[in-house]
Structure 1
Amino acid sequence: MRRSTAALGSAAFLLAAPGVVAGLVPWWLTRYASGDGPWPVRAAGGLLALAGAAVLLHGFARFVREGRGTPAPVAPTERLVTGGAYARVRNPMYLAVVALVAGQGLLLLRPVLLLYAAAVWLTVAAFVRWYEEPTLRAAHGEAYEAYRRAVPAWLPRCAQTRSKGSA
């Protein structure tokens, strides 16, 4: 797939999937009306939402540059994406969407968004387990299995691990 095609497809999918899950639904649930509460909670929520948005955009760019495709199941990448945030955790974009929703919940002091973030995580975890992992295994074989063994699914590793005897 050409990069320009991958970029256009990724942008469309960004609006259609995370845009709805982390933008439209939170707005529908809250109209982005804020509750009253302590500013440190709100500040932490804002930072969490910004971090989620940054990781999400990084992931979409990575799919275009490294994978030559999109995150959309209908237009998958040609190559397995393992660089950037994907070197630390296998599902950074899903974690980013959950962080974005949870961050909005804290920023707006709206518990309904924290409950929604938990529901989103459960949904994507099931999707990963029952659809995405088997699909990646079928498409990329041993390369995916090696990646799966080396990189955790949900809890990002903080530093590169070294094998015994390496300097």
Structure 2
Amino acid sequence: MTASGATARDKRLAALGTAVFAVAPATVAGLIPWLVTRWRVQQPVPGGLPAQCAGVLLIGAGAAVITNSVVRFALEGVGTPAPFAPPKHLVVGGFYRFVRNPMYVAIGAAVTGQGLVLGQPKVFGLAALGAVPVVAFVRFYEEPTLARKFGVDYDVYCKNVPRWVPRRPHGGRANPAAA
């Protein structure tokens, strides 16, 4: 069964599960920085208006990528990003063509953007500290689990799409795993 051949019930459950899962990135990218800063702007902001503009761009881009990626799990993967309700199909479209972990990268960008907007250096530390368990989770749980579940398709995907630093899709194909 392909993602397009999923039943309406499968798609509804995936959409519901993904909507529930969306609380996790919202908490990490929004609630935790708020708890640390109460979103107070340090005066003057280091880097001034250019830093704040860059921060706004990072926050906006991060939010767009997170939203797109979460939706893609429901539509393409017919599942959620959460380990307790994983996708039935390997998600390789959208931002997943450029980087294997767009949600994690986007959360880091959104948190870093808040540090720039607020002029709060401690938010950069929060982003760096948050990266440690994410990298460990990806390397020691997520990747081995996906390799077992999707086999050769995942191996081909990993060879063609970088883990953290986005790049142009391999060969311009939307689905390198189908190569």
Q: Normalising to structure 1: TM-score of the pair?
A: 0.92
State which of 35, 40, 64 in structure 1 corresponds to 2:42: 35
- State the distance in 1 between where 2:103 and 2:12 align: 21
Match of residue 20 from structure 1: 27
- State the distance in 1 between where 2:170 and 2:150 align: 23
Q: Normalising to structure 2: TM-score of the pair?
A: 0.86
Does residue 161 of the first structure (1) align with residue 161 of the second (2)? no
State which of 29, 37, 55 in structure 2 corresponds to 1:45: 55
Match of residue 16 from structure 2: 8
- State the distance in 2 between where 1:77 and 1:152 align: 20
Does residue 83 of the first structure (1) align with residue 93 of the second (2)? yes
- Does 5-14 or 126-135 show the bigger shift? 5-14
Question: SS at the partner of 1:72?
Answer: coil
- The Cα shift of 1:161 comes to 3.4
- The Cα shift of 1:5 comes to 1.2
Letter matched to residue 130 of structure 1: F
- The Cα shift of 1:159 comes to 5.2
- The Cα shift of 1:122 comes to 2.1
Match of residue 138 from structure 2: 128
- Does 55-64 or 4-13 show the bigger shift? 4-13
RMSD: 1.2
Sequence identity of aligned pairs in percent?
A: 48
Match of residue 165 from structure 1: none
Give the number of aligned pairs: 161
Match of residue 126 from structure 2: 116
**Structure 2 alignment gaps of length 5 or more:** 1-8, 173-179
**Structure 1 alignment gaps of length 5 or more:** 163-167
Kindly provide the CA deviation profile for residues 45-99 of structure 1, in whole angstroms up to 9, marking residues without a partner as x: 0110110000000100110110000001000000000011101110001000101
